[in-house]
Structure 1
Amino acid sequence: MTLIDPATSALPNPAHAGHFAAPALPLRQPRRSPVDTRTTVPVLDVTIPVHNEEKDLEECLRRLHGHLVDTFPHTFRITVADNASTDSTLKIAERMARELPELTVKRFEEKGRGNALRQVWLASPSPVLAYMDVDLSTDLAALAPLLAPLISGHSDLAIGTRLARTSRVVRGPKREFVSRSYNVLLHTLMGARFSDAQCGFKAIRADVAHQLLPHTLDNAWFFDTELLVVAERCGLRVHEVPVDWTDDPNSSVDVVRTAVADLRGMARLTRDLVTGRIPVPELRAALARGPLPASSRTSESTPRTSLFGQLVRFGFIGAASTVAYLLIFLFCRGFLDPQLANFLALIITAIANTAANRRFTFGIHGGNAARHHFEGLIVFGIGLALTSGALALVHGTTTPDRWLEVATVVGANLAATVARFLLFRLWVFRRPAAPATTITDKTTEVAAK
């Protein structure tokens, strides 16, 4: 039984129409032109990044080459990207390249999957670019549905997903937990909507890759996530294909170390998006996906409206704000009366809190900043009333020591934080409803014998 996407899996070749033909679905965004499959260069370039893979390399390359010869109706090339291997990997790849005309080898002295993919893809003349892990953990039956929407012009990128309901995955509990936790963090903290960032089975149109790749920085495992997040922010269509995936028990990947590096990558990518190092509006225009929404232009394709995600991001910012408020209050309390110390601590942290929530919690960048900060000051006034009232109450009923004062203002500040979130969500950063745009196109499957 084969999983087929009725919307996008039609390869533009009559010989395969019986397997892949499907009715067209209406698109909400302008589609790209189909790939010219009559080109003199290979239509597809599949990159296999390797590092010390002498044991499995030859068998896997023969399997992939045979599969493409038997099933792919257009010209192709397989590029082995050797990342500073110290064993016989390079010699094996070069020997096979002399045997198989569709196989080429690139040698890089620096390790890193991201570095290899970036350099190979930017130099490749092929209109469709793909990569997969050398162990071929993903069943190659998913390759045609992965490539078809890119060749037809329906989608800009395509990824295999191990986390779809219909995916069949065999792997250990540690990898399963780390993978799902990482993707939850991506959805919650960065507003990502693709389901599986790290499945080693992806493809992209070359015209899109040449626009996005120069703005990616990661040279290792976070490269996939960075590319996908930037693509979503630019309004590109990401096609997802459920895959059958079997974990390689001999994999040399350190899952925990990779996860920690990915978390650092998330922090760096967030900073790059906020500071404008990645020029999302310009990329959107260059990639013909239209300008940013007129109301509160953002670096995202859609507002961050998930309540859970907003609560998590607001909680992180609120915790940092509370610590900063406490430190400023204690410092000012050394030479000011409690009400003035509270006022200064609250207004400083309130301005920073409004700016941070505007960007990170609600995903707003650019226009209406002055109005948002003005309304944020009104929210600040409510917080000031709560904390000042609590201080006045405790001083009116007792003679508090310093730590009772601190406990009072912290408790009142927490209450003010709850009120602040509700006012931010329902008033300050509320946006008018806008027509939905489809960014991530998840595969609809039907069973076909």
Structure 2
Amino acid sequence: MRTDSSPGSLPAREHLPAAGAGTPVLDVVIPVYNEEKDLRPCVLRLHDHLTRTFPYGFRITVADNASTDATPHVAARLAAELPRVVSRRLEQKGRGRALRTVWSASDAPVLAYMDVDLSTDLNALLPLVAPLISGHSDLAIGSRLARSSRVVRGAKREFISRSYNLILRGSLQARFSDAQCGFKAIRRDVAQVLLPLVEDTGWFFDTEMLVLAERAGCRIHEVPVDWVDDPDSTVHIVRTATEDLKGVWRVGKALATGSLPLDRLARPFGDDPRDRELTGVPQGLARQLVGFCVVGALSTLFYLLLYSGFRLFAGAQLANALALLVSAVANTAANRRLTFGVRGRGGAVRHQAQGLVVFGIGLVLTSGSLAALNAATADPDHSTELAVLIAANLAATVLRFLLFRAWVFPDTVPSAPATAGPRRHPDVHRTRGDETVRLQPVSPADGEPGNGR
């Protein structure tokens, strides 16, 4: 997994100013490999659609990644015949490699890509890029799984697509609905920061980019699309699915171990209302409570299973101490990562040591409860012991949360502001580099920049 530093923090979202410019607003990349038959009708159709309907300057870039048929010659002829069509040749295969190469070199403020089969209705293109132009969103994806989408495809592909997205939601906590639709766009300033962190060069490229963008706090806009399956698609489903699952494992492992520098990118924008400090509103408390309760419930079940197992060969006090010790270590590790969002190994030993102190307090409460039970009843049955321990653990849980929040992980708790008002991330740059991208609507008649509206 890439661990190199990104070029810088993500910029604040800004509406791209609408005025004269020599560069196109939108660069649509079509990655191709051995598509000599479909490439020409695809580009002609896309060029005609953009000329008639897109109100800004555009460019279509054919990214040929190591085709062995006549695709490079078809792309070259299209570039010679049509204005605002260019061709790029890469000598290595990989859709992700093609997108990274073209997007990294493009001067357009909005970058998009679509598959050569044009399965997605082009009427969704303007709704796809409009939120990026306005500054409302950072990435945009077409979704075939939205309720208002209209999709025609076989049961096999439908099952694979939905299963893959369920895997992403379950393993990587992805919240976007459709990772595989070949219809996506991203702002260039965001791409410049995210692309160095994306490792995959094949079909998993855009899924990895979306997961990292979501974890970095980017806003992803989803557009319902009309989509018709291409029965002549050259995608090898089994091989692609295998590579995707390998990518899910790699990214999940990197996120779990904290090897990605996403903490430097998280919450980068100055316009996020969750970054505003409000008097009397403790930030993060609700989310931390939910996470702590989930971890606590699982830890309690784990503890009870351990206690029941240890009780087969040990006394009640020893079984309680052993079960509480093992579950406390697991509980501290889970709360560290899931509840309080601490990533990486830094401070892990100290956190576990402090967690053991909290464990000691819980041990005193639960052991004291057992001692009181034994003093009151000479030979209590197992169910009574469990009931007492559950009550004692509930009390210990409340105290554990307070100690975790105030003592073990205090750096994750925002301090109360002196006055209410907006707070910006210290690394936020309000400027967009040393160039200003200016947009100008074009005339549908000739496709050249006009006088604006």
TM-score class normalised by the smaller sequence: 0.5 to 0.7
1:263 matched to 2:245: yes
Q: Does 2:101 align with 1:123?
A: no
CA RMSD of aligned residues (A): 5.2
Query: Counterpart of 1:68 in structure 2: which amino acid?
Result: L
Specify the alignment match of 1:57 in structure 2.
39
Q: Which residue does 2:188 correspond to in 1?
A: 206
Give the aligned residue type for 2:342: H
What SS is found at the alignment partner of 1:131?
strand
Give, as a single letter, the amino acid of the residue that structure 2 aligns with 1:364: G
State the match for 2:332 in structure 1: 354
| Distance (Å, rounded) in 1 between the aligned partners of 2:276 and 2:238 | 39
What is the identity, as a one-letter code, of the residue corresponding to 1:365?
A: V
Q: Report if aligned partners of 1:32, 1:155 keep a CA contact under 8 Å in 2.
A: no
Corresponding residue to 1:70 among 27, 52, 64: 52
Q: How far apart, CA to CA, are the structure 2 residues paired with 1:249 and 1:375?
A: 63
Residue type matched to 1:239 in 2? H
Aligned equivalent of 1:173: 155
1:135–1:248 contact (8 Å) kept in structure 2: yes
Alignment partner of 1:277 is 2:254: no
Q: Which ranges of 4 or more aligned residues in structure 1 deviate by more than 6 Å?
A: 290-298, 304-307, 313-319, 336-346, 382-385, 428-434
Structure 1: stretches of 5+ with no match in the other structure:
1-28, 390-395, 397-407, 435-449
Sort the Cα spacing of 1:191 and 1:99 in 2 relative to 1 into closer, same or farther, 3 A: same
Q: Note if contact 2:329-2:356 (Cα within 8 Å) is conserved in structure 1.
A: no
Match of 2:232 in 1: 250
Q: Which amino acid aligns with 1:92?
A: V
Pairing of 1:66-215 with structure 2 (within 5 A): 66-215=48-197
For residues 132-174 of structure 1, the C-alpha deviation after alignment (integer angstroms, 9 at most, x for no partner) is 1111110001001111111122211111111110000111112
1:90–1:305 CA distance, 2 compared to 1 (3 A): farther
Tell me if structure 2 keeps the 8 A contact 1:274–1:365: no
Percentage of matched positions with identical amino acids: 52
| Structure-2 change in CA distance of 1:58 and 1:202 (3 Å) | same
- 1:294-443 matches, cutoff 5 A: 303=287, 347=325, 350-352=328-330, 354-356=332-334, 358-360=336-338, 362=339, 364-365=341-342, 369=351, 373-374=355-356, 377=359, 381=363, 427=401
Structure 2 counterpart of 1:53, one-letter code: E
Give 1:70 deviation, angstroms.
Answer: 0.8
> Contact 1:37 / 1:43 at 8 angstroms: preserved in 2?
no
* Contact persistence 1:379–1:423 (CA under 8 A): no
Q: Please name the residue that 2:450 is paired with.
A: none
Which of residues 17, 23, 26 is equivalent to 1:41? 23
Give the match's secondary structure for 2:179: coil
Partner Cα distance (2:53, 2:149) in 1: 22
In structure 1, the residue corresponding to 2:42 is in which secondary structure? helix
Inter-CA distance 423–140: structure 2 relative to 1 (3 Å threshold): farther
> How many residues align structurally?
385
2: CA distance, partners of 1:382 / 1:250: 69
